[in-house]
Structure 1
């Protein structure tokens, strides 16, 4: 495999042979993240045995991307807020997908349907995990797939249990007509979300794909904030409208167990 070199390392940086400029930037982030106080440029350069000019160029680039912050009064450097945002996003995705895996497997075994776990990331509804069911239908959805918020059971759950900002964001742009029964009006969607909040679950028969339905429920953390959603997905002949009471019960129970493992208490 061909290795792409990003450029020659300056001798003044005193870095090991073959170390790229990207490597130094990543080590700077790692180092600043482990310090308990902001550091001067001279302190950082001394730690890495590099010239202040070399370290400064890297810090400026990292600062431009929000990964490093420079205090306006002291000129000292510390980790940027972007690192916190990235860490929280990754941690939350990892927790929900990993902790919910066993419960999702049990849900799939109990219903025979495909099971998906989703999370909202930067206004996008993303599939974190997918377990195929025992039916002849296999869905093309894969982890990392983005789902429509206004026309999916997962999306309705997030609209029901997130702040009003998400609803405003969704209705502020054209809502695509994915199937004949897709909800595309703001008031109709508002009514649907109120119903979801009242009963605690959401379905979307023939709304995203004709002859396909999903039954979803919210996953909460210890702050009682929604951090995920779990659903069974299948043909409408297996998940009817409305879903069977047994299906509703098992999906809600699965969501509750995952939530409890994340510290949520049903009080």
Structure 2
């Protein structure tokens, strides 16, 4: 891979993005040898490019197969670029409405190879530190993480869930697994201070016509305001919001 020489451009950046472009166009993960064969980059340099792109979350390396695919950051870039044609654009008006109705910050989270990631935020209070911004990866004990752990396909979330569980105590794991049963029945999850002290959250799933999980909507704010149980007013608001948005994608109870 030899970038065109131009004094107004950075050759190494061209090479790096060229690697990303190759992986994106193959429509399947590529192993190191396959990338090296296509790019003709020396092994030592290719390792440096790939490691840098992984560090930036632009690429993702599967621990089992060693194959490289697009990472969470490039996915968030792509979703931002698609505009009104994508999922985020359809959900965004509901985020804004929810923030106005509840005076809480509302998040929309999507699944990536690295786990659930914040895809969009509507802030009711721009000065409130919720511990997350667009692109933030969410832990399994966050209310969003609990939704993905409960409703997403086990084959998709297995590696992420195993890695997250290694960070939990035995008591936390036991409590979490019991909580998953309630989440599956009630279709709402709660989490107290998962990222920032005094900040809690509540989340609901968004499904499509195949009953696949598309993402989740989350209310975030001071712990004394955020709902803590399914019968709370804002919990019922979230559940109705979940049904309304899911209905847009053909989901039927």
**Superposition TM-score, scaled by structure 1 size:** 0.61
> How well do the aligned residues superpose, as a CA RMSD in angstroms?
4.2
The alignment status of 1:222 with 2:209, answered yes or no, reads: yes
Q: List runs of 5+ in structure 2 lacking aligned partners.
A: 26-35, 51-67
The alignment status of 1:174 with 2:192, answered yes or no, reads: no
Distance 2:239 2:74 in 1: 29
Distance 1:19 1:174 in 2: 43
Counterpart in 2 of 1:200? 187
> Paired residues, what number?
214
Q: Secondary structure of the residue that 1:224 maps to in structure 2?
A: coil
Which of 116, 127, 144 pairs up with 1:154?
144
Distance 1:233 1:96 in 2: 21
Report the CA distance shift for 1:109/1:82 in structure 2 as closer, same or farther (over 3 A): same
Counterpart in 1 of 2:136? 145
Distance 2:107 2:237 in 1: 14
Alpha carbons 1:215, 1:233 under 8 Å: kept: yes
Deviation at 1:251, TM superposition (A): 1.2
Distance 1:171 1:137 in 2: 27
Q: Cα deviation per residue 1:115-136 (whole Å; 9 max; x = unaligned)? A: 0111121132211111112597
Distance 1:127 1:113 in 2: 16
Report the CA distance shift for 1:193/1:126 in structure 2 as closer, same or farther (over 3 A): same
Distance 1:97 1:238 in 2: 26
Alpha carbons 1:103, 1:257 under 8 Å: kept: no
Deviation at 1:162, TM superposition (A): 1.3
Distance 1:243 1:114 in 2: 19
Deviation at 1:248, TM superposition (A): 1.4
Which of 225, 228, 232 pairs up with 1:241?
228
Counterpart in 2 of 1:50? none
Distance 1:137 1:28 in 2: 39
Report the CA distance shift for 1:205/1:21 in structure 2 as closer, same or farther (over 3 A): closer
Alpha carbons 2:202, 2:227 under 8 Å: kept: no
Distance 2:164 2:4 in 1: 55
Deviation at 1:57, TM superposition (A): 8.0
Report the CA distance shift for 1:15/1:174 in structure 2 as closer, same or farther (over 3 A): closer
Alpha carbons 1:117, 1:228 under 8 Å: kept: yes
Deviation at 1:211, TM superposition (A): 2.6
Distance 2:104 2:4 in 1: 58
**Superposition TM-score, scaled by structure 2 size:** 0.64
Distance 2:227 2:20 in 1: 52
Distance 1:252 1:238 in 2: 17
Q: Cα deviation per residue 1:199-236 (whole Å; 9 max; x = unaligned)? A: 00101124444432211001123332112111111112
Q: List runs of 5+ in structure 1 lacking aligned partners.
A: 1-8, 35-55, 66-80, 177-182
Higher helix share: 2
